[in-house]
């Protein structure tokens, strides 16, 4: 899933459930644990483990002075419904906060925006019940489903973020902003499927997500 080729490449997302990855860093009393709940973008589809989103984010945070354990709760092919179905058992007692990055596969399948909204709201309600801070990362629908679909889908993220008081980033791909760049230049940061970022693309994505995670961490102080 991504902003390049929604729809046509949807079958490239494998529905295999991946094991939860925990960064190999000793847990200390001061360490914060964050669950990254998502799909293949979070899981690191098509990448060596160290090149994936979660390891790169953990390293970025460490480089910026934060002792953070990031749990990879990404399941390749997952939808917002899948995330909602597993969020409660994924939030083990040691988790202090959560990153939610879901919705790309809903778009690939043409799932109604109101259904995606209901599922993400369910996830946020679970976090709220457990007094957990959340970083909600949005997804953008393409135009091929029509303007109304795109407006409803894109709009659900900022609306829910405001309602539930989460930290918010409007797009997972914000770091690959198209402004002033050609399609060829952007393609240099994507895998051949045009859906998932390559290692260099993940670097740029993490550079944008990282400060938002810092904002999340400041709320825990």
One of 33, 40, 76, 90 is an active-site residue; which one? 40
Secondary structure (3-state) at 56 = helix
Q: What is the pLDDT of residues 84-102, one digit of tens each?
A: 999 999 999 999 999 999 9
Q: What is the pLDDT of residues 97-137, one digit of tens each?
A: 999 999 999 999 999 999 999 999 999 999 999 999 999 99
Rounded to 5 degrees, what angle do the CA atoms 196, 201, 202 make? 85
Q: What is the pLDDT of residues 19-68, one digit of tens each?
A: 443 444 433 335 899 999 999 999 999 999 999 999 999 999 999 999 99
Domains along the sequence of the chain with CATH: 10-21+31-218 (3.40.50.1110)
- The pTM of this model reads 0.85
One of 33, 39, 90, 196 is an active-site residue; which one? 196
Q: What is the pLDDT of residues 154-176, one digit of tens each?
A: 999 999 999 999 999 999 999 98
40 is catalytic: yes
Secondary structure (3-state) at 30 = coil
CB neighbour burial string for 18-42, b if at least 16 within 10 angstroms, e if fewer: bebbebeeeeeeeebbbbbbbbbbb
196 is catalytic: yes
DSSP assignment of 113-132: HHHHHHHHHHHHHHHHHTT-
- In whole angstroms, give the CA distance from residue 41 to residue 208: 15
Flag whether pLDDT at 16 surpasses 50.
no
* Beta-carbon-side half-sphere exposure of residue 79 (alpha carbons within 13 Å): 16
């Amino acid at each position: 899933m991504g902003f390049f080729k929604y729809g046509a490449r949807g079958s490239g997302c494998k529905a295999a459930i991946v094991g939860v990855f925990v960064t190999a860093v000793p847990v200390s009393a001061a360490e914060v644990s964050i669950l990254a709940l998502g799909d293949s973008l979070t899981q690191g589809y098509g990448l060596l483990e160290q090149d994936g989103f979660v390891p790169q984010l953990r390293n970025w945070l460490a480089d910026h002075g934060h002792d953070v354990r990031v749990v990879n709760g990404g399941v390749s092919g997952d939808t917002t419904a899948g995330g909602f179905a597993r969020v409660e058992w994924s939030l083990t007692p040691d988790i202090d906060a959560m990153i939610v990055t879901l919705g790309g596969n809903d778009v690939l399948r043409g799932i109604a925006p109101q259904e995606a909204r209901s599922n993400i709201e369910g996830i946020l309600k679970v976090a709220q019940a457990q007094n957990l801070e959340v970083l909600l990362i949005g997804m953008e629908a393409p135009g091929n489903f029509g303007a109304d679909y795109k407006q409803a889908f894109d709009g659900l993220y900022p609306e829910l973020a405001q309602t539930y008081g989460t930290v918010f980033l409007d797009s997972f791909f914000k770091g690959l902003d198209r402004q002033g760049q050609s399609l060829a230049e952007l393609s240099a940061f994507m895998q051949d499927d045009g859906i998932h970022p390559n290692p260099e693309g993940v670097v740029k994505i993490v550079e944008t997500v990282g400060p938002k995670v810092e904002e999340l961490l400041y709320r825990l102080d």
